[in-house]
């Protein structure tokens, strides 16, 4: 993780300097000092580049004078309209621009301490890199920046504001690490062991193996897992920071690799199915974030961890399984496996914890990508108030949601001739029928299902997310907790 520090506003003598420039702002503070020290080079560069501080715009001046390697101006847009998301994006743009520098500072002298901390969060998130398995990378391809100083009038207050955000960042990084791991490393047992590391943050962790789940009657989840030599796990994580209040619950689909089973997927792109556990990864990261910032909330996170493989012992199309709820399911397509995992874990969550509400996250359907592309995750819910809070949290964090319909008419598509339901309803409305399936395992609890199939992995760099695992859902749900559910 990028080392973040805060110091009094003093013009650096060397390294890179980032200026945060609002639209229409006049030179002041460190900006004015830097321009004077470089004999007007910054003002001339802004004029030549027609840089006016527009949101997300940047202007780089190389070797502007003295020992400064570069000055990077990052536009904030209209300063009267600054939001935490705008500031985080600015920090992310800054981190990307100075990755090749060894020392760097951000002039945050015109910002409040809390605003400076938001800039730091964006920079830290963008600087993430998963390079555990790189052994021959060229030196010129490696980022050099390991520490970043933000210059603010009240560095102590900025540092204090940064501490809880650092906890969130570490949760995001945990999720990104999990989703990035190759499937020969991260099988269900290994992922369960990584969940166990949250104990050091004060999270209670319980791991159920196949025998315990068999005794409970987890027929749907175990059916998915039966074709793999890597045995399944279910992990329950509890953070008790909210006194005697009922917990809030988060549930994640954790298919550590999904071949599709007997209904095998095409070979092209199958390597991407290592991140079919991104929903579970987000739940683990969220629990780490809540514990890391000592959130005043009681939360429980449950993840069902399986590997979906074809073999002589694998589940067949046409099999009928009995779920933990007692409902029976005809398995039409073994590649519609995530909903089977969630069916048992969702029911267990209700029976065991009686939560205030439940949110599940899953890379559930390709159909949601056809509907929403890679801009929004699909939101399905039986509760308007919960949906509105989730959508607002998505806007605040940039992890955007779009509410999709739930309707009894779609239930007809998953009607089985020999069991209580079948696990797939055909191509029309595929993400909706998948949500309708999960809904059959929800009683009268407020519930939301987030289909994050289009959002778990990015093929390009974004403001605060480098190419790769996004950890979508961690900041979204942390924001939901901070805004509405903490004491």
Write out the catalytic residue numbers. 265, 339
Selection from 94, 83, 159, 179 nearest residue 479 by Cα: 83
- Please state, in angstroms and as integers, the Cα–Cα distance from residue 318 to each residue in 14, 143, 344, 423, following that order: 68, 52, 19, 10
Q: Which residues contact 361 (CB under 8 A, 6 or more apart)?
A: 250, 251, 252, 253, 278, 279, 280, 282, 283, 450, 452, 473
Contact in structure between 333 and 423 (CB atoms under 8 Å): yes
d(CA 302, CA 249): 8
Q: Which two tokens stand for residue 332?
A: 């039409």
Selection from 282, 281, 289 nearest residue 163 by Cα: 289
DSSP string, 317-385: TT-EEE-TTS-EEE-S-TT--HHHHHHHHHHHHHHHH--S-EEEEE---THHHHHHTTT-EEEEES-HH
d(CA 476, CA 479): 5
- Please state, in angstroms and as integers, the Cα–Cα distance from residue 177 to each residue in 251, 410, 477, following that order: 19, 37, 19
Tell me the angle at which helices 474-484 and 384-397 cross, rounded to the nearest 10 degrees.
120
> What are the phi and psi torsion angles at 58 (to 5°)?
-135, 155
End-to-end CA distance of the chain: 30
Q: Helices (DSSP H) in 40-132: which residue ranges?
A: 41-49, 84-97, 113-126
CB under 8 Å, gap of 24 or more: what pairs does 206-212 form? 206/235, 206/236, 206/237, 206/238, 207/233, 207/234, 207/235, 207/236, 208/233, 208/234, 208/235, 208/236, 209/233
Residue 234: CA count within 13 A, CB half-sphere: 26
């Amino acid at each position: 993780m990028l080392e973040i520090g805060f110091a009094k506003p003093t013009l650096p003598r060397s390294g890179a300097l980032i200026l945060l420039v609002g639209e229409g702002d006049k030179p002041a503070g460190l900006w004015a000092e830097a321009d004077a020290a470089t004999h007007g080079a910054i003002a001339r560069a802004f004029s030549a580049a027609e840089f006016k501080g527009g949101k997300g715009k940047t202007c780089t001046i190389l070797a502007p004078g003295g020992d400064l390697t570069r000055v990077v101006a990052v536009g904030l847009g209209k300063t009267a309209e600054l939001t935490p998301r705008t500031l985080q994006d600015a920090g992310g743009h800054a981190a990307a621009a100075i990755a090749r520098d060894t020392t760097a500072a951000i002039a945050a002298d015109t910002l409040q301490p809390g605003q400076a901390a938001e800039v730091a969060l964006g920079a830290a998130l963008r600087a993430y890199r998963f390079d555990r398995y790189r052994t021959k990378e060229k030196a010129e391809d490696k980022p050099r920046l390991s520490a970043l100083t933000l210059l603010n009038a009240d560095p102590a207050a900025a540092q204090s504001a940064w501490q809880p955000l650092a906890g969130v960042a570490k949760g995001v990084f945990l999720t990104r690490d999990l989703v990035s791991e190759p499937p020969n490393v991260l099988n269900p047992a290994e992922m369960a062991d990584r969940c166990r590391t949250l104990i050091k943050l004060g999270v209670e962790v319980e791991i159920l193996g196949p025998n315990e789940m068999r005794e409970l009657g987890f027929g749907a989840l175990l059916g998915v897992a039966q074709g793999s030599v890597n045995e399944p796990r279910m992990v329950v994580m509890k953070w008790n920071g909210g006194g005697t209040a009922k917990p809030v619950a988060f549930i994640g689909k954790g298919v550590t690799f999904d071949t599709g089973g007997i209904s095998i997927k095409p070979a092209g792109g199958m390597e991407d199915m290592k991140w079919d556990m991104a929903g579970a990864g987000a739940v683990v990261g969220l629990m780490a974030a809540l514990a890391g910032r000592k959130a005043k909330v009681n939360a429980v996170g449950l993840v069902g961890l399986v590997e979906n493989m074809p073999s002589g012992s694998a589940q067949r199309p046409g099999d009928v399984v009995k779920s933990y709820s007692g409902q029976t399911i005809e398995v039409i397509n073994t590649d519609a496996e995530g909903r089977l995992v969630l069916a048992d874990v969702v029911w267990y969550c209700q029976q065991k914890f009686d939560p205030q509400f439940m949110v599940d996250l899953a890379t559930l359907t390709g159909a949601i990508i056809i509907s929403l592309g890679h801009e929004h995750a699909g939101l399905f819910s039986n509760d308007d108030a919960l949906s509105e809070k989730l959508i607002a949290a998505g806007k605040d964090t940039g992890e955007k949601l779009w509410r999709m319909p739930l309707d009894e008419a779609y239930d007809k598509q998953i009607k089985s001739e020999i069991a209580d339901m079948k696990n797939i309803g055909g191509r029309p409305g595929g993400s909706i029928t998948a949500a309708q399936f999960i809904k059959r395992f929800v009683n009268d609890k407020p519930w939301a299902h987030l289909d994050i199939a289009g959002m778990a992995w990015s093929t390009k760099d974004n403001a605060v997310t480098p190419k790769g695992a996004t950890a979508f859902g961690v900041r979204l749900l942390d924001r939901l907790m901070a805004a509405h559910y903490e004491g």
